[in-house]
């Protein structure tokens, strides 16, 4: 899955999102972004199966979407991204757009990572901790994290 997700979806969207949010794309950020997308959607599902989350990073309207739109470190960047993509910077609109706009989804996921006061992790253990702090998954699956991390490392 990641073999097609990376070149067809993630990489072009990450290249487009980086200048719009004012955060340079880095290999280390790509790795954790890809690992989280693998954890959240298996690089396949734009909408959560049986749940409310949207986009490959599985954002919920009142959770990640509202958080990125309101956080002091990300609000202005999120509004700029939305404006550039001609998407109203309102939680309900962003939430629905995450399903089909990959640049928006990558941008919001990168902004959520940006909101973490710690540096982007370089090892799977600290990366798991970062994922838990920032995404706060309802049903975390530590057993699959190492494989997702390794898949991301191999493609980046």
pLDDT tens for each residue of 33-85? 999 999 999 999 999 999 999 999 999 999 999 999 999 999 999 999 999 99
Name residues whose C-beta falls within 8 Å of residue 117's C-beta, 6 or more positions apart in sequence: none
pLDDT tens for each residue of 103-127? 999 999 999 999 999 999 999 999 9
Domain boundaries, the chain: 2-45+52-155
The whole-model pTM stands at 0.96
Q: Three-state SS string across the chain, please?
A: CHHHHHHHHHHHHHHHHHHHHCCCCCHHHHHHHHHHHHHHHCCCCCECCCCCCECCCCECHHHHHHHHHHCCCCHHHHHHHHHHCCCCCCHHHHHHHCCCCHHHHHHHHHHHHHCCCCCCCCCHHHHHHHHHHHHCCCCCCHHHHHHHHHHHHHHC
Going from the C-alpha of 116 to that of each of 44, 92, 108, 132, the distances in angstroms are: 26, 24, 13, 11
Question: Is residue 138 pLDDT above 90, yes or no?
Answer: no
What CA–CA distance (Å, rounded) separates 98 from 22? 19
Q: What does the pLDDT read at residue 84?
A: 98
pLDDT tens for each residue of 86-107? 999 999 999 999 999 999 999 9
């Amino acid at each position: 899955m990641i073999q097609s997700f990376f070149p067809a979806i993630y990489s072009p969207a990450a290249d487009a999102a980086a200048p719009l949010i004012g955060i340079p794309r880095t290999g280390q950020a790509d790795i954790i972004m890809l690992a989280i997308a693998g954890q959240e959607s298996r690089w396949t599902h734009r909408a959560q199966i049986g749940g409310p989350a949207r986009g490959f990073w599985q954002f919920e309207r009142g959770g990640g979407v509202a958080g990125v739109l309101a956080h002091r470190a990300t609000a202005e960047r999120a509004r700029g991204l939305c404006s550039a993509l001609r998407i109203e910077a309102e939680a309900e609109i962003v939430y629905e757009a995450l399903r089909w706009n990959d640049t928006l989804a990558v941008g919001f996921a990168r902004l959520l990572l940006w909101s973490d006061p710690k540096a982007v992790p370089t090892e799977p253990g600290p990366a798991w901790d970062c994922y838990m702090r920032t995404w706060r998954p309802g049903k975390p699956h530590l057993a699959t994290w190492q494989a997702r991390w390794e898949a991301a490392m191999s493609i980046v």
